[in-house]
Amino acid sequence: MLHVKQELLAGLRQALDGLLPGSGQQVVFESPKVAAHGDLAITAAMQLAKALKKNPRELGEQLRAALLALPTYQTWVQDIEIAGPGFINLRLKPSAKQQVVREVLSAKARFGFQTQTATAIATVSATAQGQIESTTRKCVLVEFVSANPTGPLHVGHGRQAALGDAICNLLETQGLDVFREFYYNDAGVQIDTLAKSTQLRALGFKPGDECWPTDPDNPASKAFYNGEYIADIAADFLAKKTVTADDRSFTASGDVNDLNGIRQFAVAYLRHEQDLDLKAFDVKFDNYYLESSLYSDGKVADAVARLQAAGKTYEQDGALWLKSTDYGDDKDRVMRKSDGTFTYFVPDVAYHIAKWQRGFAQVVNIQGGDHHGTISRVRAGLQAANVGIPEGYPDYVLHTMVRVMRGGEEVKISKRAGSYVTLRDLIEWTSKDAVRFFLLSRKPDTEYTFDVDLAVTKNNDNPVYYVQYAHARICSVLVNSFGSAKDLTHSMEERSQLLSKALEGLVSADLSALDSAPAQTLMMLLAKYPDMLSAAAQDFAPHDVTFYLRELAAAYHSYYDAERILVDDPQVRQARLALVAATAQVLHNGLALLGVSAPQSM
């Protein structure tokens, strides 16, 4: 139905330009709030009434007559009604709605994808730190997870990983090249804490010993990591093992006095562990950027020098301050403390200058809600640096933490991590699919409680099961179109072969039999998929995809209950098989965007 809407939109613009030259350029179709009112809505009559000095309803009647005179509208539109003060509602012919079935079956996995029309910026040509070369395609850098290499990934990191990967997938549907980056905070106090905690374990001490306070009310307890994973690192260090992470391999010396060696081994060990967590979650990155490289490559020093040269800093109380109030911040911010160390937002400024210089004119950062206070500081620093970065750079998607419930009680502690539930815990308790879908099923800034018991339930209350079951149910119908419904013993390979066989010829099937109300409702919902993708990508809102998939699954189940698919009439049978096959394809596509599988049987 995409080409039908495009043809109708072109006709609408022509009719509007006939009433008021230039008025049709920005017009769009809207969806009626009540389905019974029609399939497409136009509000242009009310918007142009003042300029044309006419009554909106009278103008609506004039526009209606102009549209009905167009051949395109005669082909695809059943009726045009004027409602209220001047709303124009279009009712499409069944033949118009049927076009979406053919479009889905033709485009398959790329249904709803847009071609890029944005101004040329860049395309990915990976180098050591993700440098890109200018060409004719726009490239967006999305930074997500970016966990400190000081422990296993927790559930909050899991929410961020699911969000980041899904947002990347959504942006790709809009014709953008997307570059996935993980920023490793491998410098600072937390790394010292990791090294010292591992050294104490190697020396035979443990949490709760006199030298290792664990009482949260004791400020000294914050200087240690208590999880059992620290003991594992210490044991492997003493055994002089070699650990390999994404960009390094390190062999332990086994010397408990080698604090720097312990530090390097522990970081490599935990980076490897996080790699395993991400692999279990099926999340991949194009580049891992090290915070330490910002210092070793002189990027932090260069950023500070730029800010000083621009006259945007001053010295006070032995510290260096940024005039961030010049850029809307509520107060100026310390950049370099009196002890000579930088505050945490300074390397962030240097990092984003590097992103800009690498050619990324659009950057999306996905971070926890606790980073909210740094947004104004980073943006102020980027403006003050005067390197051509536009206001509002970068974009941010902030998410809240996740509560985990199991057996009716909140789970707060993991033996492995010591103080939080890990992502791997959640995957092992449920499944990768459940964790992905659940963590994406709410707006990122909405508090979310992950119900482990619900995630393993096999009924309609479990949203991911409900959507996957709709896909599997359609696959079974397609398989059974070539065999007995009682034959449930097909191997996966046999089912795939039967599915392929069932899909043959459906793209050219006669769809005229799809004229019932349930069939038209399902087709109109399929037709909304491309616009839903565009809106979700623009708003960085993968939760919209989960809402749509649940609605589509419900619409299919309703259609299945309303009309028998495997009827004797071959024309009706093929038409209905084509419709449900298109529905399965869109369910598969939407789940894939979320990183969730679409099983053929359940």
In this predicted model, what pLDDT tens digit does every residue of 71-93 receive, in sequence order? 999 999 999 999 988 999 999 99
Beta bridge partners of 184: 290
Local structure of 409: helix, strand or coil: strand
The closest of 5, 76, 79, 84 to 38, measured between CA atoms, is 79
- CA separation (Å) from 351 to 231, 469, 557? 33, 44, 49
Judging by DSSP bridges, how do beta strands 402-406 and 409-410 pair with one another? antiparallel
pLDDT band at residue 119 under the 50/70/90 scheme: very low
User: Is 15 in contact with 25 (CB distance < 8 Å)?
Assistant: no
User: Is 67 in contact with 15 (CB distance < 8 Å)?
Assistant: yes
Q: Tell me the C-alpha distance between 521 and 98, whole Å.
A: 11
Q: Tell me the C-alpha distance between 550 and 440, whole Å.
A: 13
Q: Residues 147-161: what's their mean pLDDT?
A: 92
Would you say residue 430 has pLDDT above 50?
Answer: yes
Q: Residues 422-442: what's their mean pLDDT?
A: 96
Q: Residues 568-574: what's their mean pLDDT?
A: 96
The closest of 400, 406, 398 to 450, measured between CA atoms, is 406
Q: Tell me the C-alpha distance between 585 and 316, whole Å.
A: 63
Three-point CA angle 97, 98, 101, nearest 5°: 115
The closest of 179, 165, 170 to 113, measured between CA atoms, is 170
User: Is 299 in contact with 342 (CB distance < 8 Å)?
Assistant: no
- Amino acid occupying residue 96: A
Q: For residue 317, what pLDDT is reported? A: 94
Q: For residue 413, what pLDDT is reported? A: 59
User: Is 319 in contact with 372 (CB distance < 8 Å)?
Assistant: no
How do residues 222-241 score in pLDDT, each as one tens digit? 888 988 899 999 999 999 99
Q: Tell me the C-alpha distance between 92 and 106, whole Å.
A: 22
Q: Residues 320-333: what's their mean pLDDT?
A: 94
Structure tokens at 102: 């053919």
Instruction: Flag whether the pTM goes above 0.85.
Output: yes
167: left (phi > 0), else alpha (psi -120 to 50), else beta? alpha
Q: For residue 418, what pLDDT is reported? A: 59
Q: Tell me the C-alpha distance between 450 and 557, whole Å.
A: 26
**Structural fold of domain 463-593:** Isoleucyl-tRNA Synthetase; Domain 1 (1.10.730)
Local structure of 188: helix, strand or coil: coil
Q: For residue 35, what pLDDT is reported? A: 82
Q: Tell me the C-alpha distance between 108 and 425, whole Å.
A: 35
Tokens 């330009």 correspond to what residue?
17
Would you say residue 296 has pLDDT above 80?
Answer: yes
DSSP states along 43-106: -HHHHHHHHHTS-HHHHHHHHHHHHHTSHHHHHHEEEEEEETTTEEEEEE-HHHHHHHHHHHHH
Domain boundaries, the chain: 2-92, 189-280, 463-593
Q: For residue 128, what pLDDT is reported? A: 44
Q: For residue 485, what pLDDT is reported? A: 47
Q: For residue 135, what pLDDT is reported? A: 46
Q: Tell me the C-alpha distance between 324 and 187, whole Å.
A: 25
Q: Residues 151-165: what's their mean pLDDT?
A: 94
How do residues 471-497 score in pLDDT, each as one tens digit? 999 999 999 987 654 445 567 787 788
CB half-sphere exposure, 376, CA atoms < 13 A: 13
3-class SS string, 507-530: HHCCCCCCCCHHHHHHHHHHHCHH
Task: Please give the mean pLDDT across all residues of the chain.
Answer: 91
Would you say residue 510 has pLDDT above 50?
Answer: yes
How do residues 15-61 score in pLDDT, each as one tens digit? 999 888 988 887 889 988 888 889 999 999 998 988 888 999 999 99
Q: Could you give the angle at which helices 299-309 and 372-384 cross, rounded to 10 degrees?
A: 70
Q: Residues 5-9: what's their mean pLDDT?
A: 94
Do you know the residue count of the chain? 602
- Cβ count near 152 (within 10 Å): 23
Q: What are phi and psi of 140, to 5 degrees?
A: -115, 130
E runs forming strands in 337-426: 362-368, 395-399, 402-406, 409-410
Structure tokens at 54: 């006419």
Helices (H), 89-153: 94-107
Q: Which residues contact 474 (CB under 8 A, 6 or more apart)?
A: 556, 580, 581, 583, 584, 587
Q: Residues 496-521: what's their mean pLDDT?
A: 92
| Four-residue CA torsion sign, 337, 332, 304, 298 | positive
Local structure of 399: helix, strand or coil: strand
Q: Could you give the angle at which helices 570-593 and 517-527 cross, rounded to 10 degrees?
A: 30
pLDDT band at residue 326 under the 50/70/90 scheme: very high
**Structural fold of domain 2-92:** Gyrase A; domain 2 (3.30.1360)
Would you say residue 435 has pLDDT above 60?
Answer: yes
pLDDT band at residue 370 under the 50/70/90 scheme: confident
3-class SS string, 206-249: CCCCCCCCCCCCCHHHHHCCCCHHHHHHHHHHHCCCEEECCCCE
Q: For residue 389, what pLDDT is reported? A: 96
List own/partner pairs for 291-295 with CB under 8 A and 24 or more apart.
291/183, 291/184, 291/185, 291/186, 291/187, 291/188, 291/347, 291/351, 292/186, 292/187, 293/129, 294/347, 294/350, 294/351, 294/354, 295/187, 295/347
Local structure of 288: helix, strand or coil: strand
Q: Which residues contact 535 (CB under 8 A, 6 or more apart)?
A: 541, 544
E runs forming strands in 231-318: 242-244, 249-251, 287-290, 313-316
Q: Which residues contact 75 (CB under 8 A, 6 or more apart)?
A: 93
